[in-house]
């Protein structure tokens, strides 16, 4: 049975922080942190959610996304590239090719998986390939000079117009296939 305590341990692992680092960010001693997470109080849960951007529902019930907000580490990705002087090779053409290749590698996780449409045994490989896709996406956005949150917001707005909830709810059709009665 998964408890709030085990979810906190999973979150710490996901954030790659030690108990002392978690405690420090929360303004607690390591000992108080370790004692507090065994049976966390409502105030500690609120503090964890606030400091680490965690979803209250995930933390208390184990449902929904782990984080409410977790920004992409865009600066880290660009610094990694720049430290190696790779920007000169990152043209939109080459980055779009790289994106396509990484997407194909993600698809490969499902090749020959039979009836297993989730391919759970390949979770680690799927995470690696998805990370590559996201990294290349950040690099591509930088190469063409766009702001990721802005273009996502704009695309969601456009899709919201094409796929009105009243017509698209529970419907896998493309918006051009909607009839007047959908």
Please answer whether residues 99 and 93 qualify as being in contact, where contact means their C-beta atoms are separated by less than 8 angstroms. Answer: no
What is the reported pLDDT for 174?
A: 92
Q: Which two tokens stand for residue 164?
A: 């009105």
Question: Could you read off the pLDDT of 35-92 as tens digits, one per residue?
Answer: 999 999 999 999 999 999 999 999 999 999 999 988 889 999 999 999 999 999 999 9
Residues 141 and 159 in one domain: no
- Residue pair 132/105 in contact by the 8 Å Cβ criterion: yes
Asked, for residue 67, whether it belongs to a domain, the answer is no
In a domain, 89, yes or no: yes
Report the predicted TM-score, pTM, of the whole model to 2 decimal places.
0.73
Same domain, 87 and 127: yes
* 3-class secondary structure, 63: coil
Total count of domains within the chain:
3
Asked if residue 128 has pLDDT above 70, the reply is yes
Query: Domain check: are 171 and 139 in the same one?
Result: no
Task: Identify the domain containing residue 172 by its residue range.
Answer: 153-182
Sign of CA dihedral 111, 118, 65, 44: negative
- Looking at the structure, tell me whether residues 138 and 91 fall in a common domain: yes
- Is the model's pLDDT at 1 over the cut of 60? no
Q: Find the CATH number of the domain harbouring 99.
A: 1.10.287.1080
Encode pLDDT of 88-121 as tens digits: 999 999 999 999 999 999 999 988 888 778 788 8
Q: What is the mean pLDDT of the chain?
A: 93
Domain boundary residue among 61, 84, 107? 61
> How many CB atoms are located within 10 Å of the residue 144 CB?
11
């Amino acid at each position: 049975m998964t408890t709030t305590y085990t979810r906190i341990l999973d979150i710490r692992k996901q954030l790659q922080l030690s108990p002392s680092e978690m405690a420090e960010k929360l303004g607690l001693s390591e000992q108080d942190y370790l004692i507090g997470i065994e049976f966390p109080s409502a105030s500690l849960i609120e503090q964890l959610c606030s400091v680490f951007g965690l979803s209250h529902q995930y933390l208390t019930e184990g449902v929904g996304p782990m984080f409410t907000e977790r920004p992409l580490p865009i600066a880290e990705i660009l610094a990694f590239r720049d430290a190696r002087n790779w920007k000169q090779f990152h043209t939109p053409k080459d980055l779009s090719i790289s994106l396509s290749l990484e997407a194909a590698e993600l698809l490969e996780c499902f090749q020959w998986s039979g009836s297993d449409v989730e391919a759970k045994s390949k979770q680690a490989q799927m995470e690696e390939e998805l990370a590559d896709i996201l990294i290349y996406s950040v690099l591509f956005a930088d190469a063409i000079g766009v702001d990721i949150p802005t273009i996502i917001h704009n695309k969601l707005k456009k899709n919201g117009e094409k796929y009105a909830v009243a017509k698209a709810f529970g419907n896998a059709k493309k918006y051009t296939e909607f009839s007047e009665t959908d």
